[in-house]
Amino acid sequence: MYYTYMIRCADNSIYTGITTDIERRFKEHIEQNGDGAKYTKSHKPIEVSAAWSSQNRSLASTLEYRIKRLSKVQKERLISEPCCLGEILKDKIEIREYSVISV
């Protein structure tokens, strides 16, 4: 199982990534010990704001790619309404391949 997740940062920016373990990955972002992403080293992570599961890395990477290309407004909507993924990314992903994860 792979997860695509969105992290809210202290400067109100949003980081999107993929992992096989959301809790472990978030700790890596927070600890700043070299295991987190370059982005979260300079933008302090606050919380995991939204997440979706998928069966493989390819699907998770596709969703990550699509989310990273959304506008800030669309990303904010995904955070407040994670179930609207299919509406926001209509015709860009196969929505049945993803499930919302409670964070």
| CATH, range 2-101 | 3.40.1440
Residue 87 and residue 66 in contact, taking contact as beta carbons nearer than 8 Å: no
Residues 41-59: pLDDT tens digits? 899 999 999 999 999 999 9
Listed in sequence order, the DSSP H helices in the chain are: 22-31, 38-42, 57-68, 72-80, 85-88
Q: Where are the domains of the chain?
A: 2-101
Helices and strands: H and E segment counts in the chain: 5, 4
pLDDT band at 38 (very low <50, low <70, confident <90, very high): confident
Whether residue 103 contacts residue 50, with contact meaning beta carbons closer than 8 Å, is answered with yes
Average per-residue pLDDT for the chain: 95
**What DSSP state is assigned to residue 33?**
S
> At 54, is the secondary structure helix, strand, or coil?
strand
